[in-house]
Structure 1
Amino acid sequence: MGLRLQPVAPAQGWRWLRQGLQLWLQRPLSFVGLFVFFLFTVLLLMALVPFLGGPLGMALLPMLSLGFMIASKSALAGGPVHIGQLAEGLRHPVPSQRKAQWLLCGAYALGTMLVITLADWVDAGTFEDLQREMAAAGADGKPSAKLDAILADPRLVQGMLVRIGLAGLLSVPFWHAPALVHWGGQGALQALFSSTLALWRTRGAFLLYLVGWMGVMLVAGVLFSLLAAVTGASQLLGLMTLPIGLAFSAAFYASLWFSFADTFGGSPDTPAA
């Protein structure tokens, strides 16, 4: 695939979102299955490999985005969507490209660990305390005074801002990088630079794209909340939270191919790699 950075109009951001939803609706179970399989793999690693399971799971995240791009590209060409596509980047026939993907995975895991460590230092452990207290409150249904104190601690907000801000910055160089290695044959460092440059030049479209996804999820949440309030089926809403979250996550990842194809001139009609 010949790749060249293309000018992208801001309005394309909304189009990427719409195309991702349309593609997901064609293969909803297949795309959700990809995402569920990835989550299961990460949880299995965390359970079977103490201490290293978490970092290993985070290292696989670049392959999740690439796997969904490969699956989306395949689906658009009438091909299959299957779990083997999640590992396709690490099984590339060109050794240098396989090595570059492993380097990206390692760099992403290291970057994520640094973000978590810094955020934990900023919030002084209040985020972990919050998780424990929320789990305890969920078990007996009674909020505790300690939970109220944690929520009122300003360090919790500071730590969350650090997590969200640094995680967002970390995602910029990795957004297109795995795809640039896989289809463009770029090295790891070149792909990270190209991805950063591409997102900067298409920042208008990506801002609309991300805001659009947040808006769609917010509207869906409000509609389901209103439905639960009108029907009195609040427990049903709680049961639906997980499948709704999985569906939106799968649709979001399915839309990544369109942002890459428009940004670098890859044709969505070409056969899957």
Structure 2
Amino acid sequence: MNHADQPTVTLPGDVQMPLLGFGTWQATGQAGYDAVLAALDAGYRHVDTATMYGNEEEVGRAVTESDLPREEVFLTTKLPPDRVGRERETIEASLTALGVDQVDLWLVHWPPSDPGDLIPVWREMLAARDEGLARAVGVSNYRTDQIDELIQATREGPAVNQIKWSPALYDRQRHAEHRDRGVVLEGYSPFKASDLSDPVLSRIADAHDVSPAQVVLRWHVDHEIVVIPKSVTPDRIRTNADIFHFSLTAEEMRDIDALGRS
């Protein structure tokens, strides 16, 4: 499975973001390096890290040593909002650690504690993008009203908002709010926030001869929601990547949606 085979979503600037990504939170040191290398070997072409994860160096080394062309791997990292006023220094440190000239996506990891910093940080993100340090910029853990503030102040919304998401957390209105604003919804903790023994997921998994975890990931993809499962177990990493040989019916999608707050 190569980059071209995977479904992507288009971000501003015609940046193609694979809908399936590999999360690296808590995957540090040698285990982090091994996990990213295993993920790239299993077909993932999108890796998600952050300054605060403390693993950018290992992620970068794995990407380099995978021998994949740089343009085939979509790299995301994130700015801790306590770095207000040091945005440029932080992205430069990330690029050095990752061993790349630019990241594909740079996110504000969560909203700054001082609401007065919301717009200045966003202006710095846009400046970094305009200078070519990131191909696209976005946010994480932002509410819709905070996204609206950014749009009102700068006329530019985030390309992506990365939030906790799963069938149990499905919120039709929140999904629509992102779509209406042209913001791609990206979900993290897809399994942590799911009951994988739920009879609805089990029934659908049996129908496709896959696991409930694979159903959860496919549900994200079929909604065009980016999803970033994380694991350091090679078998699970491979299984989580193997979701492109089946798709869910409209009825199955509705049944899974109904597990949430829709």
* Structure of higher RCO (CA pairs closer than 8 Å, 6+ residues apart): 1
TM range (shorter): under 0.3
- Structure index of larger Rg: 1
* TM-score between the two structures when normalised by the length of structure 2: 0.22
Normalized against structure 1, the TM-score is what?
Answer: 0.22
Structure with the bigger percentage of strand: 2
